[in-house]
């Protein structure tokens, strides 16, 4: 039984596990520069372990293999015996080189890939489009009016654009549920640029992606410098210069982890979803069953106020 309580999504009455499963890594070969995508039977096992461990929601996207991740997730959920309505699914529209009219036009493909599961939160993946935020949110509101989706989210939106999206949806009688942002102990910029403050003010959930800094917070690469050589190219680039800079922080995570008999990654996840109250939910990925189990176990203990404060102080350089 998880120690961490369920968290409401935005202003809704919907309660989600504080940790979900990010499904970018289920994209197949198209994302091999980032991840070694597991085969479908392994994906089935990862999703089943996540469900059994208390994870109640999953985040995917059109951009993840042009629907490959969505399809893999649907197959895995069905293999686990889940039916529509028994899990919560978030996916995203790809805005690159498109206008808002393609939101409704391409939505049937999202339904096709995720069938028989309905889409709970539909998100604009990036703040880049041929159309305005107003046009995009009105297109999303049309889907809400048609009861095709239950909530609307955005991703990578600045404070200004998030506020604008919230305002447009409000004019249509809806709330903006979430803003999916890069957020971890090694990247706390949203605490400085206004996004976190605005999210708390407007009661918009932050869905934290890359909550483990693509694995860097686990300490593996600090303990074994040669382990970095086995990481796919784009992640190796992302790690450049960060291992030494984060060594003190990872040392604190390892120290606290040892006292709980857990891993540094689990401490980092637990901190992320507790430090800001009920504002932040995290979506770590998993390419192996063991990683999925670890993600779930990060919900099975509660850090003390002193431990939360110590981690905060040690990582303030990353705000």
Q: What is the pLDDT of residues 287-298, one digit of tens each?
A: 999 999 999 999
Q: In the prediction, which pLDDT does 283 show?
A: 98
Residue from 93, 95, 124 nearest 108 by CA: 93
CA atoms of 41 and 147, how far apart (whole Å): 33
1 or 216, which is more confident?
216
Residue 7 counted as domain residue: no
Q: Render pLDDT for 200-235 as a digit per residue (tens, 0 to 9).
A: 999 999 999 999 998 789 866 665 566 565 666 655
Q: In the prediction, which pLDDT does 244 show?
A: 79
Band (186; pLDDT cuts 50, 70, 90): very high
State how many domains the chain has. Answer: 1
Q: In the prediction, which pLDDT does 235 show?
A: 59
User: Would the CA dihedral through 74, 120, 140, 190 be positive or negative?
Assistant: negative
Q: What's the average model confidence in pLDDT over 251-265?
A: 96
Active site amino acids: 64
Residue 276 counted as domain residue: yes
**CATH number, position 107:** 3.20.20.100
- Helix (H) or strand (E) segment spanning residue 205: strand 205-209
Residue 4 counted as domain residue: no
Residue 93 counted as domain residue: yes
Residue 59 counted as domain residue: yes
Average pLDDT, the chain: 93
Whether 262 has a pLDDT exceeding 90, the answer reads yes
Band (156; pLDDT cuts 50, 70, 90): very high
Band (1; pLDDT cuts 50, 70, 90): very low
Q: In the prediction, which pLDDT does 61 show?
A: 98
133 backbone dihedrals φ, ψ, rounded to 5°: -60, -40
Residue 3 counted as domain residue: no
Q: Render pLDDT for 99-108 as a digit per residue (tens, 0 to 9).
A: 999 999 999 9
For the chain, what is the radius of gyration of the CA atoms? 19
Q: What's the average model confidence in pLDDT over 238-260?
A: 86
Q: In the prediction, which pLDDT does 215 show?
A: 79
Q: In the prediction, which pLDDT does 113 show?
A: 98
Q: Render pLDDT for 89-128 as a digit per residue (tens, 0 to 9).
A: 999 999 999 999 999 999 999 999 999 999 999 999 999 9
Domain span at residue 308? 16-318
CA atoms of 177 and 53, how far apart (whole Å): 25
State pTM to two decimals.
0.93
Q: In the prediction, which pLDDT does 275 show?
A: 97
Runs of H (alpha helix) within the chain: 40-52, 68-79, 101-114, 133-145, 159-171, 195-202, 220-223, 233-239, 242-245, 247-260, 264-275, 289-297, 305-314
280 or 228, which is more confident?
280
Residue 51 counted as domain residue: yes
Residue 1 counted as domain residue: no
């Amino acid at each position: 039984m998880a120690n961490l309580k369920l968290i409401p999504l935005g202003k809704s009455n919907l309660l989600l596990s504080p940790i979900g499963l990010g499904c970018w890594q289920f994209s197949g070969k198209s994302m091999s520069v980032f991840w070694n995508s597991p085969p479908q039977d392994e994906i089935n096992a990862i999703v089943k372990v996540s469900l059994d461990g208390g994870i109640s929601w999953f985040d995917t996207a059109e951009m993840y293999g042009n629907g490959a991740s969505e399809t893999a997730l649907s197959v895995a959920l069905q293999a686990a015996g889940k039916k529509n309505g028994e899990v919560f699914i978030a996916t995203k529209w790809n805005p690159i080189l498109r206008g808002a009219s393609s939101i409704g036009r391409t939505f049937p493909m999202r339904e096709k890939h995720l069938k028989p599961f309905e889409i709970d939160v539909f998100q604009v993946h990036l703040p880049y489009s041929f159309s305005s935020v107003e046009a995009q949110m009105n297109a999303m509101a049309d889907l809400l009016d048609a009861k095709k989706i239950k909530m609307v989210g955005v991703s990578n939106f600045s404070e200004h654009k998030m506020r604008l999206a919230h305002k447009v949806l409000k004019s249509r009688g809806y709330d903006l549920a979430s803003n999916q942002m890069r957020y971890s102990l090694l990247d706390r910029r949203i605490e400085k640029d206004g996004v976190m403050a605005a999210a708390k003010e407007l009661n918009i959930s932050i869905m934290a992606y890359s909550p483990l800094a693509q694995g860097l917070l686990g300490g593996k690469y600090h303990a074994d410098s040669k382990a970095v050589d086995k990481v796919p190219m784009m992640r190796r680039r992302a790690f450049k210069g960060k291992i030494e800079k984060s060594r003190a922080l990872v040392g604190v995570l390892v120290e606290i982890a040892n006292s709980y008999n857990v891993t540094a990654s689990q401490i980092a996840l637990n901190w992320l979803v507790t430090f800001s109250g009920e504002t932040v939910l995290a979506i770590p990925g998993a390419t192996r069953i063991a990683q999925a189990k670890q993600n779930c176990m990060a919900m099975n203990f509660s850090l003390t106020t002193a431990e939360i404060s110590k981690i905060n102080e040690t990582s303030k350089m990353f705000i």
